[in-house]
Amino acid sequence: MENRELNKVRPIKDLKDMLDSSVELYGDKAAFLSKPKAGAAYIPISYKQFKSDVNAMGTALIDLGLKNGKIALIGENRYEWSISYLSVVNGTGVVVPLDKELPANEIELLLERSQADAVIYSESIKDKIEPLHKKSTSLRYFISMDREEDEGNLLSFSLLLQKGHELLKEGRREFIDAKIDATEMSMLLFTSGTTDTAKAVMLSHKNIAENLMGMCSMVYIDEKDIFLSILPIHHTYECTCGFLCQLYRGCTIAYCDGLRHIVKNLKESKATMMLGVPLVFESMYRQIMNQAIKSKGEKKIKFAIKLSNALGKIGIDVRKKIFNQIHEALGGHIRLFISGAAGIDPQIAKGFRELGVYLIQGYGLTECAPIVALNRDNYYKDEAAGLPLPNLQVEIDSPDEDGIGEIKCKGSSVMLGYYENAEATVEVIKDGWFYTGDSGFIDEDGFLHITGRKKNVIITGNGKNVFPEEIETLLNRNPYIKESLVYGKGQSDGDTVICAKIVPDIDKIKEDKEDNLIADESIEKIIEIEIKKINKTMTNYKHIKKISLQEEEFIKTTTKKIKRHEELKQ
C-alpha cells in the first residue's frame, strides 16, 4: 500500500499511434484469443495480424466511399467488432457503437439520430437490422460479420476484408496514410437512457488516449496479462478499459462465451484479469463462499481467513496456498478484478482480497471517456470510488456541512459535448467543468467517495438527505435478499417515508428452512424480520417503513444497472 509513485507509461497521441507502437513492441504476441464458434478452442491472433486486418478493413471502407462517414457497429464481443472499431476511427470516419440488446425500433431511431452511413452488425441481430434495408434511411451499406456472400448493398464482412487485403497489395494507401485529428469527434456514444433521453456523447482520440495513459499510470497492467472480456463492448467502460487499454499495454484479450461461461472461460484462457460490474462479482463471491463453506464448514473457513490475515500482517502471504481450491475455481491465474458502472459493497472487495484476489473499483461516465477516479492496485480504499486520474481535476460543487455536493471534473478526457444538443451540453459543461450529476465527497487522503445520484436523493420531512444506494448496499448484503430498490414516498403530512422494493432469494430461504437455520415462516415474515435487524444498524430517519416483494428481477441496462425510474413508474 505504501508505493504511491505512478507507473511509467509510454505517451500516445491517438489510437492509430497506440496501435502502431504496440505492434512494434508486441508484434508476434497474441492480441486476441478468439473462438471461431462457441464451444471451440481459443485461437491466438497476433498484434501484427490484427493491425493488418484493421488496415485492410479501413482501406475497403474508404473504397466503398465511406471516408468521413459515420459507421454504426453492433454485435457481441468478438474479433470482428475490434477490427471494425479501429478500422473506422483510425482513418475512415466516426464510429457509432450501439447496444445489441435494444429493441429494433430503438436501434432504428439511434441509427437515424446518428445519421449513420453504414452499419456493421452480427448475424445474431440481423432481424433487427436487415429490414431497414428496404426503408429509405441514410444507410448505404449493411455489412454482416457472418454473411458469406454479397447481395446488393448487403455485404459480407469477410469478403470486404479480403478485398481490403487485395487493395493494400495493389498499393492503396488512403487509410494507412490518413492523418488523425486527435481533437475532433471520432466516436459517438449513446448513454444508456430511453431512446429519446439517451444523449449522444462526442469523444475524440485525445479524450480516450489521455484516459488510457492516466488509468495505466495508476494500475499496473503489462504484456503478461490476459483479460477476459465479459461486459458489452459497445459500452465505453468495456471498450476503453477492456479492449483499447489491453492493446495499449500489450495484453491478450480473450472473448467470453457469455456470462454463464465465465468460470469455464477463465480456466481456458488462463485469464489474469477481468473487468466486471458489482452484480457479477457479488454473485461470484456468494457462490464461491457457499461452496467453500459446504465442503469445509464455516468454522474452518473463518479460521483459515483469520490465520492468513494474521500471517499477512507479518509479511507472510499464504492465501494462494490455503485457498488453492478457490483459486482453481477461478481458473488458477486471476490476480485482479476491476469493478465499475456502480459502487460495489466494500465487504466484497475485502472478501476477495482475503482469499488472495485483488478487487479494486473505479468510477467514470461515458462523458469522461470514461474513467474519472480509480483505486490503485497498491493504494486503495474499498469504500471509495478511487483517486482522481492524474490528468483530471475533480472537485465537489457547493458541499454541505458533511462535505457532500455534486462531483465535477475538468481535464483532457472530458467529452467535446452532446451531438446536436447544445442545450444539454451547456447544462453540464460550465467554465470547462463537467458536472456529473453524482453526489459525493473527497476525504483527507484525496479519495473520492460517491454517495449516490443527485436525482435519486430522498429528502425527509426534516430536511435530511438519504442516499438510497447506501441503504441498498446494506440490504443486498443480506443472504435472503437478492436485489433491492429504495425510494421515498411523500405523505400527506409533508413527511417522506423510506420504502424498499425487494426481490427475495427464494432458493436460499428454502435451503435454510430445510436445514432448520431459520423458522418455517412465510417469505414476507422472514424478510420483515431481516429488515428490522437492518433498521437497527441505521439512524432513525433512514429506517425502511414500507416494503413490497416481487419474484421477478428488476429491469436492468446491459451493464446490469437497475433502471430505477422504469421500476418506480410501475
Contacts of 527 (CB under 8 A, 6+ apart): 480, 481, 502, 504, 547, 549
Q: Provide the 10 A C-beta neighbour count for residue 240.
A: 25
Provide the grid cell at 16: 492509430
Residues 107-112, mean pLDDT to the nearest whole number = 93
Helix, strand, or coil (residue 497): strand
- Residue 298 pLDDT: 85
CA dihedral (426, 428, 206, 238) positive or negative: negative
What does the chain come to in residues?
570
On the question of pLDDT at 137 being above 80, the answer is no
Q: How confident is the model at residue 425 (pLDDT cuts 50, 70, 90)?
A: very high
Tell me, rounded to whole angstroms, the distance of Cα 150 from its chain centroid: 35
- Residue 494 pLDDT: 63
- Residue 1 pLDDT: 41
On the question of pLDDT at 116 being above 70, the answer is yes
**pLDDT tens across 509-548, in order?**
998 888 888 888 888 999 999 999 999 888 888 899 999 9
| pTM given for the model | 0.87
Domain 15-269 has CATH 3.40.50.980: yes
Integer CA distances (angstroms), 216 to 85, 124, 220, 250, 272, in order: 21, 34, 6, 12, 16
Which residues belong to CATH 3.40.50.980 in the chain? 15-269
Task: State percent of the chain over pLDDT 90.
Answer: 71
Q: Provide the 10 A C-beta neighbour count for residue 179.
A: 8
Q: Which residue has the higher pLDDT, 214 or 134?
A: 214
Residue 30: Cβ-neighbour burial (10 angstroms; 0-12, 13-18, 19+): buried
CATH of region 273-332+335-454: 3.40.50.12780
User: In whole angstroms, what is the distance from residue 557 CA to residue 101 CA?
Assistant: 9
Q: Which of 160, 124, 166, 163 is nearest to 143 (CA)?
A: 160
On the question of pLDDT at 328 being above 60, the answer is yes
Per-residue exposure over 153-176, b if at least 16 CB sit within 10 Å of its own CB, e if not: ebbbbeebbebbeebbeeebeebe
User: In whole angstroms, what is the distance from residue 570 CA to residue 565 CA?
Assistant: 9
Which residues belong to CATH 3.30.300.30 in the chain? 457-569
The second-level CATH assignment, the architecture, of 457-569 is 2-Layer Sandwich (3.30)
Which residues belong to CATH 3.40.50.12780 in the chain? 273-332+335-454
What single DSSP character describes residue 386? B
Contacts of 136 (CB under 8 A, 6+ apart): none
Q: How confident is the model at residue 126 (pLDDT cuts 50, 70, 90)?
A: very high
Q: Give the Cα-Cα-Cα angle 499, 502, 504 (nearest 5 degrees).
A: 150
